[in-house]
Amino acid sequence: MSSTPPTSEGSGSSPESPTEGHAASPGREPSASQIGVSNAIFYALFVVMGGTYVVLIVGMLVADAAYMTEKTFDGITSEGRSILSAISHNPITTALADKRIQHSIWLSLISCTMSAVISVMIAIPMGYLISRHEFRGKRLLDAVLDIPIVLPPLVIGLSLLILFQFPPFRWIARDVVYQVPSVVLAQFSVACAFAVRTMKATFDHINPRCEDVAVTLGCSRAQAFGWVLLPEAERGILTAFTLAWARSLGEFGPLLIFSGATRMKTEVLSTSVFLEMNVGDIEAAVAVSFIMVMAAVVVLILTRMIGSDHHAIQ
């Protein structure tokens, strides 16, 4: 006859498993020094990764400046001139004295400004419609607007050239292709995409409530857009203009195919660099490149100053 061993009070509760005991025990929190070391490593990695690109950009600019400085002092040494003559005798002043470079500078300034103005005029309504309204085919339109950004520049120039072989564009091809208007059109075809993206992002960040209140108070959509929305989008418009202008200044591929690189006709700064390199004049090519860099920097600085002043006033 088997007997059941007596059970003590509370024997029904099973002993705590090692796993449950480990889970129940509190984890050790990192010390302040460990957190500090972890944060230092985190930011150091980010600084190194981001700083690499900054160093690359600065290095290119410094290399251009060093090359021109070297050539300037080489000319001074070979010709026995004083150091002060470097102010008036250097690759930049030599390039600026060239009538062909002067023509390319003026054409670049005029064409880039016209392209940027037209780009902003198109980008404002396009960005507004995409940002504020839902309609059939919106995603397709959004994708089409990105095509100039992702296409190779040479393909854009070739596509423009082929486009003007068909009516109604063929009827005005003689006055556009390989003429000054083709420069503006080639720059606009790429720059406008960046302006549209900028204006869409600008309208996305503006609360539509004020615009709706204006409509509720009796304003038409056009009045609410002009009196309420546009003043709020002023900085975005300025940014879109700057991006379009800078993008137009650096355009090369479409210009080479659609406009050509004819001296004193369709030559702009970007094609001047190409032409100077073709004839083996590296000094002039670097000088023109540095002129483009300085022009871009001046535009960016002015934009930042105007934007900061506007922000401070508001």
pLDDT digits (tens, 9 = 90+) for 54-103: 999 889 888 888 888 887 777 777 766 767 666 767 778 888 888 888 89
CA 89 remoteness from chain centre: 34
Report yes or no: 148 and 192 within 8 Å, Cβ to Cβ.
Answer: yes
Cβ distance 217 to 144 under 8 Å?
no
CA angle 126, 156, 161 (to 5 degrees): 110
Q: Give the separation between CA 304 and CA 307, rounded to whole angstroms.
A: 5
Q: Which residue reads 């410094």 in tokens? A: 62
**String of b and e for 182-199 (b: at least 16 CB within 10 Å)?**
bbbbbbbbbbbbbbbbbb
Tell which CATH architecture fits domain 91-313.
Orthogonal Bundle (1.10)
In angstroms, rounded to a whole number, what is the distance separating the alpha carbons of residues 297 and 299? 5
Residue with tokens 């190194």: 48
Q: Look at residue 84 in the predicted model and tell me its pLDDT.
A: 66
pLDDT reading at 136 higher than 80: yes
Minimal CA–CA distance to 126: which of 194, 227, 30, 221?
194
Position with higher pLDDT, 36 vs 7: 36
**Residue 160 and residue 190: Cα distance in Å, rounded?**
11
Contact (Cβ atoms closer than 8 angstroms) between residue 176 and residue 185:
yes
pLDDT at 161 over 60: yes
What are the residue ranges spanned by the domains of the chain?
36-76, 91-313
160, two tokens: 């423009």
Per residue in 303-312, pLDDT tens?
A: 777 655 444 3
Question: CA–CA distance from 271 to each of 39, 60, 211, 260, 264 (Å)?
Answer: 48, 20, 45, 9, 11
Bond prior to 181 in cis (omega within 30° of 0): no
Q: What DSSP state is assigned to residue 151?
A: S
Question: Which of 84-93, 119-128, 217-226, 238-247 has the least mean pLDDT?
Answer: 84-93
DSSP for 172-212 reads GHHHHTTSHHHHHHHHHHHHHHHHHHHHHHHHHTS-THHHH
The CB-based long-range contact list for 15-18 (8 Å cut-off, 24+ gap) reads: none
Are 232 and 290 within 8 A, CB to CB? no
CA–CA gap between residue 254 and residue 11 (Å, rounded): 87
- Residue 284's nearest CA partner among 57, 60, 71, 56 is 71
Task: State the Cα–Cα distance between residues 71 and 63, nearest whole angstrom.
Answer: 12
Dist. CA 30–CA 309, nearest whole Å? 46
The top-scoring range by mean pLDDT among 117-126, 205-214, 221-230 is 117-126
Q: What pLDDT score does 118 carry?
A: 95
- Cα separation of 197 and 29, whole Å? 46
- pLDDT given for residue 302 in this prediction: 73
User: Distances in Å between the alpha carbon of 8 and those of 15, 16, 57?
Assistant: 14, 17, 80
Helices (H) and strands (E) in the chain, counts: 16, 0
